[in-house]
Structure 1
Amino acid sequence: MDLKLLLAILLVFIFSSKTVTICSAEENNKDWWKRTNYYQIYPKSFQDNDGKKGIGNLDGIRGRLSYLKEIGINATWLSPIFKSPMVDNGYDISDFKQIDPLFGSMYAFERLIERAKEIGVKIILDFVPNHSSDQHEWFKKSVEREKGYENYYVWHDGIPDKKNESIRLPPNNWRSVFRGSAWTWNEKRKQFYYHQFYKQQPDLNFREEKVKEEMKDILTYWLEKGVDGFRIDAVPHIFEHKDFLDEPVISNVDPEEYASLNHTYTYDQNETFEIIYEWRKVLDDYTKLKGGEDRILLAETYSPLDVKMKYYGANGKKGAHFPFNFILFNLNKKSTASDYVKYVEDWINVMPEGETANWVLGNHDNPRVVNRIGRDKANLLNMFMLSLPGITVTYYGEEIGMENIELPESDYIKDVRDAERSPMQWNDNESAGFTRNVKPWLPVAPDYKTRNVKIQRQKPLSNLNQFKFMTKLREKYNFFDSKNFSIKKGSESVVIVTRSEIEIFFNVGTTSQNVKIDWYKKFEVLFMNEHSNRRIGDIIYPSDSNYVIKLLPNEVLITKVSSSY
């Protein structure tokens, strides 16, 4: 079939049919977040609109909001854009109420909000409450023991060295996520301060009521600016045990590594759940007072499933609208159909009644999907995620199949995770259309000439057009609702997802598979991925195919099922 004709058929399908009405307009507005495809933007890497710094900025994001609508995205969360020394790429905040000049000004932010509301894209900010930068005024005042700020951070006298009592040692064996002791001595204050991440990121003390009030005030400040919610960073780290007890040691692990301890006293403490419930109340109270649509909380946590569920809420208290679900990160090149089914059911079966599922494939802290699962399966996995009930969260560039870059031995290197943070590939111009006239802050992936948004818009079975088809299908057939969802194994390598009359076949294996089909059904091919030899509009009759559907390796086949009689 001619490629232009195939693209035309795709567009006709996407835009010709009426969307299923799933609730009233009022309910739609209130619960918008339950029926939304989310997208993470890493601001430094999305779009540099002026070509002055080689770093993405707020005006660049504003100029690309229409792209998000094009691909079926209605909400985006931005990694930190606040004032920062950039020791940890913005996760070390020196002023929670100011925009870092690297990204623009408050005026630029307000223009971004204004434009987002015009076209219907929700803006969600990264909220980083666990710690600040050591350059924050709070920390400087706490070092000086300025009245009112003495206990803003976690300070400890330490313990005397038994060999030399004039030397103080850290109070316990707690480790930093980034290796080594989580305690650093401050000579001026003559105490250790606690930091679960870099030493330039001192942990705030949430046992201090003033700190709690500061954070609630910060939430309200940005709500007044018009944001639609917050993604809370590093949630399980917010509280630590008040008695500073040593954590149990895990044998045969380098004692300097974070993984050398069982984090019973520094991770998922009971008080952490309560503070999330308090922040949810701040948002709900604001909505009641100001009206309008729900403002939402998203919680980043890599906790065990049973613990993660507590972040939804408990004992009548509401928590995060959803804690991020990273369970699909477990899938790899060798995963079978049983693995795919199991991971989906594992989440759905433990989720509290009435809550909304969510599915995440990537973010700025993990290798890209292509690098984890391979080029042949990466797009299959994207389509699989988009077939599931509830919310989906896509990391920028995954929709075109971007992959990690190799970090050169140069001034680029700062964080090994930067490999998955390379500039967005918009076109085949210099620097992939991300910037102009200047060197981008990270190298552009070498395949940008052939893998970019501009080229993929023109290819009917490109990653981008498959992604766009799936987001439209989700809307048209209400994939957000779990009531019309089922998942099963068709063979050792084939997963079958059913959404009302839509049946989607995923061959996750490396060999062709024959899958039995019911004798009374016929299957109309709506779409497929690049590994299929089917065509849009093909009709599969059971009797004509010996009651099986043959699927090629890594093939995705999307069909509409009806009775053949």
Structure 2
Amino acid sequence: MAQTPWWSRSVVYQIYPRSFADTDGDGFGDLRGIIDHLDHVADLGADVLWLSPIYVSPQDDNGYDIADYEAIDPMFGTMDDFDELVAAVHSRGMKLVMDLVVNHTSDEHAWFTESRQPGSDKRDWYVWRPAREGHEPGTPGAEPTNWGSFFGGSAWAYDEASGEYYLHLFSRKQPDLNWENPAVREAVYAMMNRWVDRGVDGFRMDVINLISKTYPLADGVLTPGDPYSFEIERVANGPRLIEFLEEMNREVGITSKQLFTVGEMVACGLEHAREYTSRHHDRLGMVFTFEHVSVDQSGSKLSPKKLHLPDLKQNLARWQEGLADDGWNSLYFENHDQPRSVSRWGDDSPEHRVASAKALATVLHLHQGTPYVYQGQEIGMTNAGFTRIEQYADVEARGQFAQATAAGVPEEAVLAGLSAMSRDNARTPMPWTPEGGFTTGTPWLPLNANTASINVADDVADPDGVAAHYKALIALRREDVVVRDGAFELLLPDDETLWAFTRTLGDQRLLVVANMSSHLAGVPISALPSLEDAELVLSSVYPGTDLQTLAPWEARVYRIRA
């Protein structure tokens, strides 16, 4: 793998198509809506566009349940629309990355329909097992193992027609593919190659480290009071994962064609990430880790806790140092599965929303790695503020609510957890104008109640808006080699208010200092490098060089002597 691949200099903009822009009035975003707003992405300076799934799907999990890998779902448009999108992206000097969901398919995929027939050539394309010995098939406790689904309930579904159970680590409408079968892998690689031939520049790979399971499948340890086991090591980072990744790389020509790849990986530690993204092997370009987005949780997404800033910055620093000499970091605070960072780790009050959105962007983009901007993040969008379970569309949220309330958790507590952490927080439609501008019809998910004050038109027209700061950050990364390649050092690691670090390359050094609170913060100047002859490169709030005190959510970037 090349030492300096092109995507190490890039910034990725993620689009969640059903919530980006609707041109036909059906309430769902579509490909023509993306085409119409490409200049917004290009103006930010992002040069990679990542699309969440647009394939044919029954939409049980908003497109992550794919029924046909090689057709565009009519809700998004046609293949002609897709070809036009590819051309429009490339004409702007950008690249297009598709979501690859191959741990599982929809139960409506033709492969699974055929697999349900005992004796079929595709029976072994999925993970089928008989009922537990001594149990009547289809009765409680008869599941082959005690594994739980990520979306609640058992990870096994009984199929009456064939008399066996199939594995689904997510929704029961998302049966897991059997990657042990070489025919499955061959079909997946052929499909990927056809998309590459169509102009796709790479893939974001959904839960890719689940494709290799540890066989034989066996029960996991149960937590008291929980009928299902969630020993993630039984399904993640399996013994053949590296083999599968290298085979995929070879068969699709990922390295030889310089394709972009990022693998979403649950339970992926630093050592695993070094293995999977090593520059000395042809596997993946980078991975999405979940460690840093778990530091404010007390055991589950439904039990959020107040962020202890040292936990977040020390976690990111550990990954910076761990992948510095081999591998590469992906830098993200938001995506379609995470709540809005300004509501989560910033201050989404009218007084501090803009400043805290800028501060969060500054510290993230000044780390080493490839930054990801999720649609709406660049204008400081907030969480949805839902208060009733009926407002949620997400299958995960509905499943968590049902399971938690059945276990006796008060509804108010469950709804509070969902309000803070639900995936629907990131999925509300993009507010293009104060009136909405997303659709002429009824949106599939309600727009945020604050759309009149938080929208693209108003923010991009403001020279001090959030989008303007993102443009400056992206331009700095493109212009300054220190941002891309400089060594990282965390300063003040235990400070609960200040986030400070340096990036150093040769005799060049950048100092980043940010007040991550809604109050004035004194700065221990003696603990920082000397600011003699320092040049202020970027400031999020108040331009100046006096670092004695930082305003609420003020972030500064200095060029100093190394």
TM-score range, shorter chain: 0.7 to 0.9
**Unaligned stretches of 5+ residues in structure 1:** 1-26
* 2:264 counterpart of 1:300: yes
1:394 partner SS: strand
**Unaligned stretches of 5+ residues in structure 2:** 297-304, 398-422
1:505 partner SS: strand
Pair 150,555 (structure 1): closer, same or farther in 2 beyond 3 Å:
same
C-alpha contact (below 8 Å) 2:273/2:327 kept by paired residues: no
* 2:512 counterpart of 1:512: no
Return the alpha-carbon distance in structure 1 between the equivalents of residues 148 and 494 of structure 2. Answer: 45
The match for 2:249 is 280
C-alpha contact (below 8 Å) 1:427/1:454 kept by paired residues: yes
Question: Residue deviations 1:165-191, cap 9 Å, x none?
Answer: 996921111111111111111111111
The match for 1:180 is 153
Alignment of 1:105-504 (within 5 A): 105-145=78-118, 147-161=120-134, 169-250=142-223, 252-256=224-228, 260-284=229-253, 288=256, 294-310=258-274, 312=276, 317-330=281-294, 338-339=310-311, 341-351=313-323, 353-375=325-347, 376=352, 377-407=356-386, 410=390, 413-415=393-395, 416=397, 417-429=423-435, 432-436=436-440, 438-483=441-486, 485-489=488-492, 492=495, 493-499=497-503, 500-504=508-512
1:426 partner SS: coil
Instruction: Specify which of 518, 521, 525 is matched with residue 532 of structure 2.
Output: 521
Letter in 2 for 1:463: V
* 1:82 CA drift (Å): 0.4
Return the alpha-carbon distance in structure 2 between the equivalents of residues 462 and 122 of structure 1. Answer: 26
Percent identity for Structure 1 against Structure 2: 29
Letter in 1 for 2:132: I
Say how many residue pairs are matched: 510
Return the alpha-carbon distance in structure 2 between the equivalents of residues 396 and 303 of structure 1. Answer: 26
Letter in 1 for 2:258: D
* 1:420 CA drift (Å): 2.0
Return the alpha-carbon distance in structure 2 between the equivalents of residues 213 and 425 of structure 1. Answer: 42
* 1:502 CA drift (Å): 3.7
Return the alpha-carbon distance in structure 1 between the equivalents of residues 230 and 211 of structure 2. Answer: 18
Instruction: Specify which of 39, 43, 62 is matched with residue 13 of structure 2.
Output: 39
Question: Residue deviations 1:116-142, cap 9 Å, x none?
Answer: 110011111110001111111111111
* 1:192 CA drift (Å): 1.0
* 1:476 CA drift (Å): 1.7
Return the alpha-carbon distance in structure 1 between the equivalents of residues 55 and 137 of structure 2. Answer: 42
C-alpha contact (below 8 Å) 2:32/2:77 kept by paired residues: yes
Return the alpha-carbon distance in structure 2 between the equivalents of residues 268 and 59 of structure 1. Answer: 38
Instruction: Specify which of 23, 30, 39 is matched with residue 49 of structure 1.
Output: 23
Question: Residue deviations 1:360-399, cap 9 Å, x none?
Answer: 1111112111221132434311111011122111211111
* 1:512 CA drift (Å): 2.0
Return the alpha-carbon distance in structure 1 between the equivalents of residues 376 and 186 of structure 2. Answer: 37
Question: Residue deviations 1:250-290, cap 9 Å, x none?
Answer: 3x35224xxx43233222211123212221223336x74xx
* 1:409 CA drift (Å): 5.6
The match for 1:19 is none
The match for 1:3 is none
1:308 partner SS: helix
C-alpha contact (below 8 Å) 1:40/1:363 kept by paired residues: yes
Alignment of 1:527-538 (within 5 A): 527-530=538-541, 534-535=542-543, 538=544
Return the alpha-carbon distance in structure 1 between the equivalents of residues 184 and 284 of structure 2. Answer: 20
Structure whose CA Rg is larger = 1
Return the alpha-carbon distance in structure 1 between the equivalents of residues 392 and 430 of structure 2. Answer: 17
Letter in 2 for 1:133: S
Return the alpha-carbon distance in structure 1 between the equivalents of residues 530 and 107 of structure 2. Answer: 68
Return the alpha-carbon distance in structure 2 between the equivalents of residues 62 and 267 of structure 1. Answer: 37
Pair 463,520 (structure 1): closer, same or farther in 2 beyond 3 Å:
closer
Return the alpha-carbon distance in structure 1 between the equivalents of residues 137 and 119 of structure 2. Answer: 28
* 2:62 counterpart of 1:89: yes
Pair 427,313 (structure 1): closer, same or farther in 2 beyond 3 Å:
closer
* 1:228 CA drift (Å): 0.5
2:234 partner SS: coil
Question: Residue deviations 1:228-250, cap 9 Å, x none?
Answer: 00111012321223212111223
Question: Residue deviations 1:324-343, cap 9 Å, x none?
Answer: 14444256696566445422
Return the alpha-carbon distance in structure 1 between the equivalents of residues 454 and 162 of structure 2. Answer: 54
1:441 partner SS: coil
2:104 partner SS: coil
Return the alpha-carbon distance in structure 1 between the equivalents of residues 137 and 561 of structure 2. Answer: 81
Pair 378,457 (structure 1): closer, same or farther in 2 beyond 3 Å:
closer
C-alpha contact (below 8 Å) 2:346/2:516 kept by paired residues: no
Alignment of 1:50-89 (within 5 A): 50=24, 52-89=25-62
